[in-house]
Amino acid sequence: MIFFYFRSWATREYVRQVQLIIIDEIHLLGVDRGAVLEAIITRLKLLTRRSCVRDSPARLLGLSTALANAGDVAEWLGIHDPVLVFVASRRQTRLTAMAFISHLVTESDPRQWLHIDMAELEVLLQSVKDENLKLTLPFGIGMHHAGLSPHERALVEELYVEKKIQVLIATATLAWGINMPAHLVIVKGTEYYDGKTCKYVDFPVTDVLQMMGRAGRPQYDTSAVAVIFVQDIKKTFYKRFLYEPFPVESRYPFSSACIDFFVINSIAYATFLLPSRCKADFSLLPVLANHVNAEINAGTITSKQEIMEYLAGTYLYRRLFANPNYYGLEDLSEESLIKYLVAVVDGCVMDLQYSKCIIIDEETETLRPSPFGRIASIYYLRHETMKFLVEKLGREDSIEDLLKTLSHVPEYDEIPVRHNEDVTNT
């Protein structure tokens, strides 16, 4: 019956719209009626290759019992392209690789993803110290994460690029660091465990796009496939951002002290800043005060008015007009905009003054750098760090005291400690 439908594909619109073709019991190619199945699949391959079924070729998926020459069938179906799987953690790279191996060992050719002579691979494995990587590479599966040595990561990259292994399982950092495209990219989940907040959080949309961007090899492919595994409640969101362009918004302006300033002083226009986004979100990137401190030390900013002029040159200023609701600005009147920017400038100055990074001349209101502000600017430290060090360091501190203080500076908030990396010296 299906042979009949696909013979007359030109007059059947629904046939041309097929996106996925699943061929069950493909091992029946070897029986008497296998010639019919082979003819059907050959026609399907022809149609998909000519893009007759739809604008982009349909995918062929074959299901079978164990075959001695599964590789030949896969090659015939066109299933031989490299696959890149992104996971949330180094632990997930290992678990995903083991899951693949558990399926491969049930196949007649468990090393079907390995395209290198075993003798050559054995020589390469002598330089590999990671036991999990030693186990997965002989199955044509590579792993890539920060827990591997530079040599091991380089070896995996080389084997994958040279098509000697067909599957690479990596953490999201690979999407940014190295250009290793694949025909098929799988994003296995869109959440990761954030050690700072001690909970699972979503990958930034830019990270997901970067991972998907690994799909497609210009020198090999005219098309590619990216698959995202996501919780059901998030499907609508990801469908929307995949098929619709999304704007890039500024994360520039706010620090926690800035928002506290608005709240404590009960400023009327504080309502501009708080309803549309949570306070914690603003406190994630307190960068404006740090950059203003650098400009004050460089002599390019000496007053609040010059901070205002600095803000007028930022991307934030441009996006305020295009998407005011995102920044909690309810209207675009000149008065509202001025109040908004004045609040940002006042909060920024308060941050730096509170951290003892600037000195304000009482008569002229000129902004001058303090010694602490100069140190922060020269060594690229946060203004919160300077405040912390000024409060915690003492003249009589021992080396142990200094190390304890140093280990608690805000810069280290961004560095999570994994459960298997925390070593206590006693």
CATH numeric code, 83-243: 3.40.50.300
pLDDT value at residue 159 = 92
Q: What confidence tens digit (pLDDT) does each residue in 132-173 have?
A: 999 999 999 999 998 899 999 999 999 998 888 999 999 887
Boundaries of every domain in the chain = 2-77, 83-243, 256-414
Task: Evaluate whether 83 touches 181 at the Cβ level (below 8 Å).
Answer: no
Task: Evaluate whether 2 touches 36 at the Cβ level (below 8 Å).
Answer: no
Range with the poorest average pLDDT among 96-110, 385-399, 409-423:
409-423
- Rounded to an integer, the average pLDDT of 256-261 is 41
- Beta strands 184-188; 83-87: pairing state: parallel
SS (H, E, C) 118-177: HHHHHHHHCCCCCHHHHHHHHHCEEEECCCCCHHHHHHHHHHHHCCCECEEEEECHHHHH
Could you identify the residue written with the tokens 């460089």? 298
Alpha helices in 171-284 (DSSP H): 173-177, 205-212, 235-243, 256-264, 279-282
Range with the poorest average pLDDT among 79-88, 112-121, 248-257, 279-288:
279-288
pLDDT value at residue 168 = 93
* Summary count for the chain: helices (H), strands (E): 20, 11
pLDDT confidence of 323, banded at 50, 70, 90?
confident
pLDDT confidence of 424, banded at 50, 70, 90?
low
Q: What is the per-residue DSSP string for 72-88?
A: HHHHHHT--S-EEEEES
Residue 413 or 2, more confident? 413
pLDDT above 70 (res 210): yes
In this structure, CATH architecture of domain 256-414: Orthogonal Bundle (1.10)
- Rounded to an integer, the average pLDDT of 164-185 is 82
pLDDT above 60 (res 362): yes
pLDDT above 50 (res 54): no
CATH topology of domain 2-77: Rossmann fold (3.40.50)
Burial class (CB in 10 A: 0-12, 13-18, 19+), 373: buried
Range with the poorest average pLDDT among 71-80, 88-97, 303-312, 400-409:
71-80
pLDDT above 50 (res 290): yes
Residue 9 or 93, more confident? 93
- Rounded to an integer, the average pLDDT of 392-402 is 90
Do 83-243 and 2-77 have the same topology in CATH?
A: yes
Range with the poorest average pLDDT among 60-69, 93-102, 249-258, 346-355:
249-258
pLDDT value at residue 269 = 32
pLDDT value at residue 70 = 59
pLDDT above 60 (res 6): no
Could you identify the residue written with the tokens 């599966």? 141
Residue 101 or 43, more confident? 101
- Beta strands 225-229; 184-188: pairing state: parallel
Residue type, 425: N
- Beta strands 367-369; 358-360: pairing state: antiparallel
Residue 378 or 261, more confident? 378
pLDDT above 80 (res 228): yes
Residue 252 or 338, more confident? 338
Task: Evaluate whether 131 touches 97 at the Cβ level (below 8 Å).
Answer: no
pLDDT value at residue 154 = 92
Residues 6+ apart with CB under 8 A from 274: 259, 262, 263, 328
pLDDT confidence of 279, banded at 50, 70, 90?
very low
Range with the poorest average pLDDT among 258-262, 309-313, 334-338:
258-262
pLDDT value at residue 258 = 43
Range with the poorest average pLDDT among 106-115, 118-127, 180-189, 312-321:
312-321
pTM given for the model: 0.59
Range with the poorest average pLDDT among 88-97, 128-137, 171-180:
171-180
Q: What confidence tens digit (pLDDT) does each residue in 24-41 have?
A: 777 777 766 666 677 777
